């Protein structure tokens, strides 16, 4: 039985995994859980995942970033990409069951457009390399099909 078979099934259509299943995979909780659902994932060469984050005006960071012109901080976009990548590492590598993700690094990070309240982030990660619990992945964040952020990330399962 694989890890995916043990997770709760989504209550809503359009998701492979919903927030209830994500809570079983990631140690993050409100206000730091930045992935709402997994739209799709593929195992193979390379492993891939597509996740979604709904950005609302009620997000706690908008009260200070910036009150008159709310913008989602870039570091939280990077964190959303890292969380999506760690979900992919759980789903595509059975040896990671019961382990916890540790973010190791970020390279070639670029922010292309601001993310504002009401935006729906589509986070895509593709595994570049995986060896002994350490994964490197390319990740992007898009809003309405337009690239808003991208990075190469590294994480370890401990």
User: Annotated catalytic, 65?
Assistant: yes
Catalytic residue among 65, 103, 133, 152: 65
Q: What is the 3-state secondary structure (H, E, C) of the chain?
A: CCHHHHCCCCCCCCCCECHHHHHHHCCCCCCCCCCCEEEEEECCCCCEEEEEEECCCCCHHHHCCCCCCCCCCHHHHHHHHHHHHHHHHHHHCHHHCCCCEEEEEEEEEEECCCCCCCCEEEEEEEEEEEECCEEEEEEEEEECCEEEEEEEEEEEEC
Is the distance from CB of 120 to CB of 52 less than 8 angstroms?
A: yes
Enzyme catalytic residues: 65
């Amino acid at each position: 039985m694989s890890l995916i078979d043990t997770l709760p099934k989504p209550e809503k259509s359009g998701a492979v995994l919903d927030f209830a299943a994500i809570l079983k995979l990631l140690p993050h909780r409100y206000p730091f859980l930045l992935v709402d659902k997994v739209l799709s994932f593929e195992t193979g060469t390379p492993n891939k995942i597509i996740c979604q984050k709904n950005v609302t005006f009620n997000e706690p960071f908008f009260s200070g970033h910036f009150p008159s012109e709310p913008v989602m901080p870039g570091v939280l976009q990077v964190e959303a990409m890292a969380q999506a990548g760690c979900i992919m590492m759980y789903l595509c590598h059975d040896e990671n069951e019961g382990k916890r993700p540790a973010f190791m690094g970020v390279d070639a990070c670029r922010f292309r457009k601001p993310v504002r309240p009401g935006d729906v982030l589509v986070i895509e990660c593709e595994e570049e390399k995986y060896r002994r619990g350490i994964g490197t992945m390319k990740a992007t964040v898009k809003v309405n099909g337009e690239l808003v952020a991208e990075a190469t990330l590294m994480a370890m399962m401990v």
